[in-house]
Structure 1
Amino acid sequence: MDLDPGLAALRAPGGFFPLRAAAGPPRALPTLAEVYAGRPGHVHGDPLDFRVRKVAAALRAPEPRTAASVAHLGLAARLWSVALGCAALYGRLPALDPGRLHWDPDASAPDDLWLPEVIPSGRAGDPAALADAVLRGHLVPLAAAVRARHRLAPGLLRGNAASALASAARTLEQWARAHGRPEVAARTRTLTTGLFADPLLVGTGTLTGTAFRRRSCCLYYRVPGSGVCGDCCFTRPPRSSPRAASG
């Protein structure tokens, strides 16, 4: 299937998958390249710091690094959902360069991403293309930007990247099976298996189909009234310091 100007196929799974495309943003929004580079000057100052503060207030997070991990996980999930959805539904990827994707740090979840124009990337939607577009194009510089501001271990952020991918794959596969799209479900599983063989995701956890058990903890259990996530390395919230869970 050819990419269409509005990436309409991404609307069907809903949730984290749709991407605003070929329409102007409601106001000047930073590109993700600017976010990763830590360039202030937008209406919210430093967009990443603003987002972490917004998440912290919404969750009543006890410490900034918990909110930073949750914010990182949310944006990673959006990026994986868009790219994996395109690869599974269209068989190819649009150009999703950080300099082209705009982000609204003040939006509610899921993160609001905007692409001014859909341009084919020239690459088929295979695991290598997805890894280049999302892992290396976005999640490596995003992790660096988060770690420059907050004390989060690289292993935690790699675990977030893996968890976000598994969640996107699970949602897409379930939607595809429920709507009579077995070829999309099969493609999703094949792509996900290939991506988990990438050196940046190897060792982050155990993938069984699209079910995932990570080796690290995102720290969400520290949010008041929460428990552990479904893919957490813990079966119950630990009583000791979360530092041991962040590696």
Structure 2
Amino acid sequence: MAVISDPDDRRCAPPTEPPAAGGEAIRVARVDPGHAARVLRGLDELGPPFAVQIVTGAGDPATATGGLLPAADLYRPGDRLAAAIEGQAAALGGAERRVAASNLFIGHAIRLWCVTLGCWERGGLIPDLPVDAVLAVGPGSRAPLALADTGGWRPADPGDVDTVAALVTRVVIDGHLRPFAAAMHATIRTATGLLWGNAASALVGAVGAIARHATLGPAAPSDAPSGGPVRHQARLAATLLEQPPLAGTGVHRRHDDGNLDLPSFVRRSCCLYYRLPDGAMCEDCSLRDSPAATRRHSPSSAPNAPAPCRPDGGGRHS
């Protein structure tokens, strides 16, 4: 899929293409960076996982401190990724490496989905998220994602969910989650099915949080996509879940209008969080009805389970 920038869009400098892929062309326009920055700064209204730090004048994100590290360090197999996994294991109280790796992956996926879909919800745009401008949250940290770039894209037809899904796939999946999953697998042989299940679970959780905020919170801004936030996001999630690499990661139902029935999603893999001493089963876990898992972690054995991993409360990772 090639991206074609709208030649009539004079609002900003010539565009930089999102992560490349082959296939059908779509038409998009670059968003004014000032507008994108305003949308990004307002995402914390949707909840902590949506919050973003905008790093101004950073120049080199590799100088990050405060619990952040360059996302590119996570996307290459080697010592830096291995150190991040070990740090996450320590932060979890000495977890198995595979549990720590899963936890690190899903935490990053949650923030990427929340920021991307939050921008679509609040401003009708998809943020650029170039890898070299993204600062990931380090082991044990609850800091927001940080960006040194506030570019973004606006599809020519914001009502075309397939177009939006294609753009989101290029930015989040191809740009970030695919190299992260490959590096994880190469470093400690983490099962890729588990990691893509984490990505799907995080996606559903982000959409659920947006839906809940739309129900309980203030209305979306006037420049948000038409059709209602819950309606639009639920259809987008269903579309993403039925395309590679998320296709087959879980089972779900669609409503008659094509929207995802959010509570129906059950993943086919397990994030392994229940293997921690104070762990518990996630709401969408494929093992929830497993007698062995139930005996290992009954509700009474984990009375102090930590804060949910999914922003809608559907999981249990930070």
CA distance change for structure 1 residues 223 and 127 in 2, over 3 Å: closer, same or farther? same
Aligned length: 233
AA aligned to 1:193 is: A
Structure 2 alignment gaps of length 5 or more: 1-30, 159-163, 221-227, 254-260, 294-318
Q: CA deviation at 1:61?
A: 4.3
1:28 equivalent among 60, 63, 73: 63
Aligned to 1:188: 233
Q: Which residues in structure 2 correspond to 1:189-204 (within 5 Å)?
A: 189-204=234-249
Percent of matched pairs sharing the same residue: 35
Q: Which residues in structure 2 correspond to 1:49-198 (within 5 Å)?
A: 49-106=82-139, 108-109=141-142, 112-121=144-153, 123=155, 126-181=164-219, 183-198=228-243
Q: CA deviation at 1:27?
A: 7.7
Aligned to 1:43: none
Greater RCO (Cα-Cα under 8 Å, separation 6 or more): 1
Query: Which digits, 9 at most, give the CA deviation of each residue in 1:34-73, with x for residues without a partner?
Result: 4312476xxxxx1x33332232122224411111111111
Aligned to 1:5: 37
CA distance change for structure 1 residues 221 and 237 in 2, over 3 Å: closer, same or farther? farther
Normalising to structure 1: TM-score of the pair?
Answer: 0.84
Residues in 2 aligned to 1:197 and 1:237: alpha-carbon distance in whole angstroms: 26
Residues in 1 aligned to 2:110 and 2:70: alpha-carbon distance in whole angstroms: 17
2:288 equivalent among 235, 242, 245: 235
Residues in 2 aligned to 1:205 and 1:23: alpha-carbon distance in whole angstroms: 40
Task: From the CA coordinates, give the structure whose radius of gyration is larger.
Answer: 2
Residues in 1 aligned to 2:89 and 2:101: alpha-carbon distance in whole angstroms: 8
Residues in 1 aligned to 2:90 and 2:289: alpha-carbon distance in whole angstroms: 24
1:213 equivalent among 247, 254, 266: 266
Q: CA deviation at 1:22?
A: 4.7
Q: CA deviation at 1:5?
A: 2.1
RMSD: 2.5
Normalising to structure 2: TM-score of the pair?
Answer: 0.66
Aligned to 1:244: none
Q: CA deviation at 1:24?
A: 5.0
Structure 1 alignment gaps of length 5 or more: 41-45, 241-247
